[in-house]
């Protein structure tokens, strides 16, 4: 395995000793947005298509945005391994349904090695950082939200311990600090595993499940707003069907 411990400037020993690259394995791309459905929950197939286009659009945006800072740039991701769509809040106003969505995409970074090392991290490639902005791998206690090196785990743990003076070099050697950091890592791991295991391997599966969830909510809370177009309303009667005149004979033997 690559010896990351030789780097002394930019990584946190929490990452190496405790977490082992949780932020990149998988790498979660998360986008929150709102969808608005006018006129009640009709034409579900069209609605599913709309949701699917929204998922594809956001997936594409992430893939396009996360590239190395080289010329030419290299992408970090192909398609997500898992799609997890969550309706965080649904509101109904008249016949309009507002849905706040959280789209979660579990990507496998093309630069993450089998042994959970970022193969383009500066400590690995010798100091030149070509990772995209805000790559979280190997976080720092000093980094603030939206800065490179920011990590929820480290900051969650830091909020529950007395943090050492920055720059953070000591690692998590103390018994109490260690258990709090491990608790934060375990929480992150279990949340990540839950969404990964419950996620769908295709965007179509995620869109379908999401629409079923929304339909269930509307059925429970505003059943009058569901009226899908009935199937086969224009089917013509066959020659052997009962005659429309009410004679009781088959059409072919009556008005056929
Ligand atoms: S940055 Fe955070 S999530 Fe990533 S390896 Fe370090 S502690 Fe784990
Ligand atoms: S480039 Fe490195 S830090 Fe960024 S997601 Fe991939 S493995 Fe993680």
Q: Which ligand gives the minimal distance to the CA of 151?
A: 1
Q: Please name the residues in contact with 174: beta carbons below 8 A apart, sequence gap of 6 or more.
A: none
Report the nearest-CA residue for atom 4 of ligand 2: 135
- Enter the tokens of residue 238: 């066959």
User: What distance in angstroms lies between residue 137's CA and the mean position of ligand 2's atoms?
Assistant: 6
What pLDDT was estimated at residue 101?
A: 98
Select from 10, 28, 76 the residue to mutate for testing ligand 2; criterion: most ligand atoms less than 8 Å from CB: 76
3-state class (DSSP) for residue 106: strand
What pLDDT was estimated at residue 34?
A: 97
User: What distance in angstroms lies between residue 14's CA and the mean position of ligand 1's atoms?
Assistant: 7
Pairing of strands 96-107, 27-37: antiparallel
Averaged over successive runs of 10 residues, the pLDDT of the chain (256 residues) comes to 40 76 90 95 93 98 94 96 96 95 97 86 79 73 76 77 47 61 87 96 98 94 77 56 68 71
The pTM (predicted TM-score) of the whole model is 0.77
d(CA 16, CA 172): 10
């Amino acid at each position: 395995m690559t010896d990351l411990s030789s780097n002394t400037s930019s990584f946190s020993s929490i990452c190496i000793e405790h977490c082992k690259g949780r932020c990149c394995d998988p790498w979660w791309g998360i986008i929150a947005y709102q969808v608005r459905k006018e006129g009640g929950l009709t034409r579900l197939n069209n609605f599913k298509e709309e949701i699917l286009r929204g998922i594809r659009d956001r997936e594409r945006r992430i893939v396009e945005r996360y590239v190395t800072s080289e010329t030419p740039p290299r992408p970090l991701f192909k398609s997500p391994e898992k799609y997890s769509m969550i309706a965080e809040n649904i509101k109904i106003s008249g016949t309009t349904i507002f849905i706040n969505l959280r789209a979660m995409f579990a990507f496998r970074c093309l630069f993450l090695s089998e042994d959970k090392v970022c193969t383009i991290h500066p400590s690995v490639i010798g100091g030149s950082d070509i990772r995209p902005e805000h790559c979280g791998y190997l976080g720092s206690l000093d980094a603030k939200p939206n800065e490179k090196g920011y990590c929820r785990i480290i900051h969650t743990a830091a909020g529950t311990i007395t943090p050492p003076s920055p720059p953070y070099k000591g690692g998590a050697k103390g018994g109490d600090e260690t258990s709090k950091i491990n608790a934060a890592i375990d929480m992150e791991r279990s949340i990540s595993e839950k969404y990964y295991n419950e996620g769908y391997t295709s965007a179509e599966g995620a869109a379908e499940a999401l629409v079923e969830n929304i339909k269930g909510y509307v059925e429970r809370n505003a059943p009058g707003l569901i009226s899908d177009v009935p199937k086969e309303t224009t089917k013509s009667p066959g020659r052997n069907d009962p005659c429309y005149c009410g004679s009781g004979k088959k059409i072919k033997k009556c008005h056929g």
